[in-house]
Chains A and B, each alone.
Chain A
Amino acid sequence: MTLVLIAVAALTILSIIFGALLGFAAVRFRVEGNPIVEQINAILPQTQCGQCGYPGCRPYAEAIAAGDKINKCPPGGEATIQALADLLDIEPEPLDAVEGEKIPVVAYIREEECIGCTKCIQACPVDAILGSSRQMHTVISSECTGCDLCVEPCPVDCIEMRPIETDLRSWKWQQPTRQYQIIASDKEALE
């Protein structure tokens, strides 16, 4: 009987000691916030465009930390996906198919219809719209990320998304179409 009591008492005391130790460690090594979310948030482009399906970059960073896909950020493109894949030590994936098919666009304000309400300026995440109250607005197209957020608030629907025109600055050589075989992997790509 005493042996049982000793055994119970010993285990209880041990548990109390270990519990106290862990409690102390939990206080001593407490983690402020979630540092991985901060690191992911730092990589995301901070356009707050919402094309990933989350209300902003920080919520998307939290979702990635909780296990969401990393390929939902069109403004960041391949570079962001690669950086996220390196940070999280997972395989990079191509940009989400639905988003990836889009051709690059910029917002365009039909200036004669603009009533100067400033609502699109407030909506723009990257401050790419210039103008003031009761004055005509216009888009700084080199700053515009094509996120669509200004189209919805406009009361007179004078904003449209236009594909980026090819000019001397944005023109690129066309990718050569491969119909010839150089090495074995070319053949596989054609098949």
Chain B
Amino acid sequence: MSELFLIAVSAILVNNFVLVQFLGLCPFMGVSKKVETAIGLSLATTFVLTLAAICSYLLQQYVLKPLDIEFLRTISFIVVIAVVVQFTEMVVNKTSPLLYRVLGIFLPLITTNCIVLGVAILNANRTEYGFVASSINGFAAGIGFSLVLVLFAAMRERIAIADVPKPFQGAAIGLITAGLMSLAFMGFAGLVKL
């Protein structure tokens, strides 16, 4: 149990996928202008991450390993992720057309979000991770992504009305803020050894 907790803490804070491992920076910069949109994308990405981690674990354990074709890992993981994202897109379009419209292109782009493939491959590399550990890792990666995305969006909403010097306006101040957040997350380094 404590093992699972440590995995979660590691993925959320210590090895945060966005600010420490620098995966998934595109939606981090692109969908962080408004908190509402950021929350919507966070939910969708967390859902996709959890599902993709579970599916890719099953694929790895019950298809690729027994058939001894682990060299097909990347391509089959990408297929799995694409299917999960497509599925999520259909469900979101059916249940919340407004969220579907707000997320726009970033919803199908979750496919190419490197966090999703990153989690799947990192899970597959860690042979000691079982089914539960893999899915917890995927879910926690999503929570970590949501945490920093919502925090960052809240900051950018403040920055938008702040008096920023002209050379730093727009994306520049956003990137500087992201860098400072990343520095702050370095403070968690060494909290969990995994």
Contacts and interface: CB of A to CB of B under 8 A. Distances in A.
B37 A89 contact: yes
B94 A22 contact: no
A1 to B, nearest CB: 14
Interface in A83-108: 87-89
Contacts of A35: 97
Interface residues of B, number: 26
B69 A10 contact: yes
B90 A36 contact: no
A63 to B, nearest CB: 15
A11 B76 contact: yes
A186 B133 CA distance: 60
Contact of B93 (A11, A29, A88): A29
Contacts of B91: 25, 29
A117 to B, nearest CB: 45
B87 interface: yes
Interface string A15-27: 1001001100110
Contact of B90 (A10, A11, A29): A29
Interface string B99-135: 0011000000000000000000000000000000000
A53 to B, nearest CB: 23
A25 B87 contact: yes
Given A21-B83, A29-B90, A36-B98, A89 B75 contact: no
A130 interface: no
B189 interface: no
Interface residues of A, number: 23
B68 to A, nearest CB: 7
Interface in A108-150: none
A3 interface: yes
A21 B87 contact: yes
A65 B104 CA distance: 12
Nearest to B94: A29
A6 B68 CA distance: 9
B79 A18 contact: yes
Contacts of B1: none
Interface string A39-63: 1000000000000000000000000
A25 B85 CA distance: 12
B74 to A, nearest CB: 12
A3 B93 contact: no
A190 interface: no
Most B CB within 10 A of own CB, among A14, A26, A30, A36: A14
Given A31-B97, A36-B97, A88-B101, A14 B76 contact: yes
Most B CB within 10 A of own CB, among A18, A30, A36, A87: A18
Most A CB within 10 A of own CB, among B76, B80, B97: B97
A158 interface: no
A11 B79 CA distance: 9
A7 B76 CA distance: 11
19 contacts: A3-B68, A7-B69, A10-B64, A10-B67, A11-B75, A14-B59, A14-B63, A14-B76, A18-B80, A18-B83, A21-B87, A25-B90, A29-B91, A30-B94, A34-B97, A36-B97, A36-B101, A87-B98, A89-B98
Name the 7 nearest CB pairs between A and B, nearest first: A29-B94, A35-B97, A29-B90, A18-B83, A7-B69, A36-B97, A25-B90
Given A29-B90, A36-B97, 15 more contacts: A6-B68, A7-B67, A11-B76, A11-B79, A14-B63, A14-B76, A18-B79, A21-B87, A25-B87, A25-B91, A29-B93, A31-B94, A34-B97, A89-B98, A89-B102
